[in-house]
Structure 1
Amino acid sequence: MHNFINFHVLITHSPSCLNRDDMNMQKSATFGGVRRVRISSQSLKRAIRTSDAYRTRLGERSLRTRDLARLAERYTAALAEHHPAARVQQAIAWMAGKEGLAEDAEASAVAPWALAEVARMCAAIVAGEAEGLDVKKLQKQIEKDATGFRTAAAQTLDIALSGRMSTSDLMTPVDGALAVAHVITTHAVDSDIDWFTAVDDLVSEAGETGAGHLNTQEFSSGTFYRYASLNLAQLQENLGGATRERALEIAGHLAFLFATIVPEAKQQTFAAHNPADTVLVSFSDLPVSLANAFEAPVTTERNSGFRKPSQSRLFEYWQQVHSGYGLDENPAAYLLDGTKVPEGVHQKGSLAALVEWIGRDGRD
């Protein structure tokens, strides 16, 4: 059975500015000697993790924070029916490697926190209290027996996918099962500048002239290549020994999310809510990016666009890598325009059909 699933997505965005840097300019990268517009992997992952589609398909996400006091307030309310506030605060403090929580308590770094983890720690405290242990002995026992607790506590899905660095002795370090590349355009991009104003209605009504605010915004359009790789065995391990069927179900949902979710930056201004044009998914024995298909930037004939030549370039390069390295893989694709895929690639008539194919372990 293949252990990796590679996701290759081409998505064309109308004029937009989906990811900005500290200078309010579009993020970019030089690749193949030319400037490409870039969307960071962090931006894409957060857009996916916070989307309604993620919540519907994969459940509640963790909370990422270093503000332990606010975290304790949120989780105390969530666990109020089962644990008193003092116990919840104690659990969070121990997990953060602290003696207690002051009003301004902070962890050493921003980290994902899962309600289920805190609930498990509370249960461990209850068990220790039932044995008659005082606070210090109880903490030492939990730290001593923390291996089993850590294993059980690492099962929040977005942590299993993206991983987590350890910030204390009790918080679980997790090697992420999902690797996501920065998204880049398949072609060179020269951005445009929008000079905009905001009208002050009361100033206008008074018969005065002049804007209430004026500024500039960089924007552009383009065809973007998204790539991600999922390590199925790592995901199963991170989820505490989940079945391959469960990992495949998650992989199918990820294919849908990578094809449909767009970062929200400046969307009220540009509304670049564009779904993917091409989704190629491959079961493989190793992660393989096809970004080098676009190392030589795609060019286009006048008025013909970048979508079609980018799609052709993607499949041409896939064939070269597949045959040149004799890869043992099982690929399938959904193409929005219905173009025929190369020999050896299973063609799916809809994104839903591709998702179902993934869930069947690549079997038709």
Structure 2
Amino acid sequence: MHNFINFHVLITHSPSCLNRDDMNMQKSATFGGARRVRISSQSLKRAIRCSDEYRRRLGERSVRTRDLARLAERFAAALDGRYPAGRVQQAIAWMAGKDGLAEDAEASAVAPWAVAEVARMCEAIAAGEAEGLEVKKLQKQIEKDAAAFRDAAAQTLDIALSGRMSTSDLLTSVDGALAVAHVITTHAVDSDIDWFTAVDDLVSEAGETGAGHLNTQEFSSGTFYRYASLNLAQLQENLGGATRGRALEIAGHLAYLFATVVPQAKQQTFAAHNLADAVLVSFADLPVSLANAFEAPVSAERSGGFRQPSQGRLFDYWRQVHRGYGLAESPAAFVLDGTQPPEGIAAQPDLAALIAWIGRDGRD
């Protein structure tokens, strides 16, 4: 059985500015000597993690913060009085490597926290105190019970997927099972500038002219390539020894999310709510990106756009890599316009069929 699932998604966005830098400009990258518009992996992962579809399919997400005092308040409320507020504060303090929490207590870095993991810590502290264990001995005992805390953290799937680095002995580190690339356009992009104004109604009604506000915003459109790779064995381990079937179920949900979720930046202005044009999924023995299909920027064919030639490039490059390296893999694809993928890739009539194929472990 193959251990990796590679997700390759082509999605065309109408004029938009989905991810900006500190200068309020579109994020970009140079690839193949040409400027591409970029959506950072962090932006895409957060959009997915915060989406309604994520919550519906994969449950509640972690809380990512360095503000430990506010985290204690949030989790005390979430646990609905199961543990005293002081106990929740103590649990979070220990997990953060602190003796206690001041009103403005902060961790050294933003980290994902799972409410179930904090609840497990509260239980461990209460049990240790009931036995009369000293603090240091109790903490040592808790450190040895890492598996129980990993299982508790696994109830919050985004930690199992994205991982967590921790320098505290009581907050378990998790190796991420999902790798997500920065999203780039398959072609070179010259951005446009929107010069916009806001009319002040009261000033206008008074007979005065001129805008109440004016500014500029960079934007563009294009066909984007999204890539991610899921390590199934790592996901199973992160989920406390979950079955492969459970990991495949999660993979199917990820395919849906990668095909449908769009970052929300400036969406009230541009409404670039676009869905994927093509989704190629491959079970393989190693992670393989197909980004090099677009190292030479795609050109619009006779002003026919970038969508279809990008699809052709993606499948052509898959064929080259597949044959050139003799890869043992099981691929399938859904293409919105009905284009048939090359021989060796199982064509799926719609996204639901592709997700069902993933659930069958890549079997027809």
Return the TM-score normalized by structure 2.
0.97
Amino acid at match of 1:341: P
Give structure 1 stretches of 5+ with no counterpart. none
Q: CA deviation at 1:303?
A: 2.5
Specify the alignment match of 2:360 in structure 1: 360
Q: CA deviation at 1:332?
A: 0.3
Q: 1:154 touches 1:240 (CA, 8 Å); kept in 2?
A: no
Structure 2 residue aligned with 1:39: 39
Counterpart code for 1:15: P
Mapping for residues 225-240 of structure 1, pairs under 5 Å: 225-240=225-240
Q: Distance in 2 between matches of 1:46 and 1:4?
A: 22
Counterpart of 2:301 in 1: which secondary structure? coil
Residues 1:78 and 2:78 are matched in the alignment: yes
Match of 2:295 in 1: 295
Task: Provide the secondary structure at the position in 2 that maps to 1:302.
Answer: helix
Give CA-to-partner distance per residue, 1:83-107, whole Å, 9 cap, x none.
Answer: 1111111100100111111110001
The equivalences for 1:81-100 within 5 A come to: 81-100=81-100
d(CA) in 2 for partners of 1:166, 1:136:
20
Matched, 1:245 2:238: no
Match in the other structure for 2:107: 107
Residue equivalent to 2:212: 212
After alignment, is 216-225 or 149-158 more displaced?
A: 149-158
1:202-256 deviation line (CA, Å, top 9, x unaligned): 2112221121111100000000000000000000011110100000000000000
Do the aligned residues in 2 keep the contact of 1:17 with 1:26 (CA within 8 Å)? yes
Provide the rounded CA distance (Å) in 2 between the counterparts of 1:136 and 1:242.
33
Query: Does the 8 A contact of 1:154 with 1:174 survive in 2?
Result: no
Moved more, 293-302 or 217-226: 293-302
**Counterpart amino acid of residue 239 in structure 1:** L
Where does residue 62 of structure 2 map in the other structure?
62
Structure-1 separation of matches of 2:321 and 2:9: 17
Once the two structures are overlaid, the 10-residue window that deviates more, 324-333 or 205-214, is: 205-214
CA distance in 2, matches of 1:122, 1:328: 47
For residue 277 of structure 1, give the secondary structure of its aligned residue in structure 2: strand
Asked if the contact 1:6–1:284 (Cα under 8 Å) also holds between the matched residues in 2, the reply is yes
Contact 1:25 1:217 in 2 (8 A): yes
Letter in 1 for 2:192: D
Give TM-score scaled by structure 1 length: 0.97
What is the RMSD computed on CA atoms of the aligned residues?
1.1
Distance (whole Å) between structure 1 residues aligned to residue 356 and residue 244 of structure 2: 15
Equivalent-residue separation in structure 1 for 2:125 and 2:151 (angstroms): 15
| 8 Å Cα contact 1:14-1:221 kept in structure 2 | yes
Could you tell me which runs of 5 or more consecutive residues in structure 2 were left unpaired when the two chains were aligned: none
Q: Distance in 2 between matches of 1:75 and 1:21?
A: 32
C-alpha distance in 1 between matches for 2:305 and 2:288: 27
Partner of 1:5: 5
- Alignment check: 8 A CA contact 1:280 1:332 kept: yes
> Could you tell me how far apart the structure 2 residues matched to 1:191 and 1:181 are?
22
Confirm or deny that 1:152 pairs with 2:151: yes
Q: Which residue of structure 2 lines up, in the alignment, with residue 317 of structure 1?
A: 317
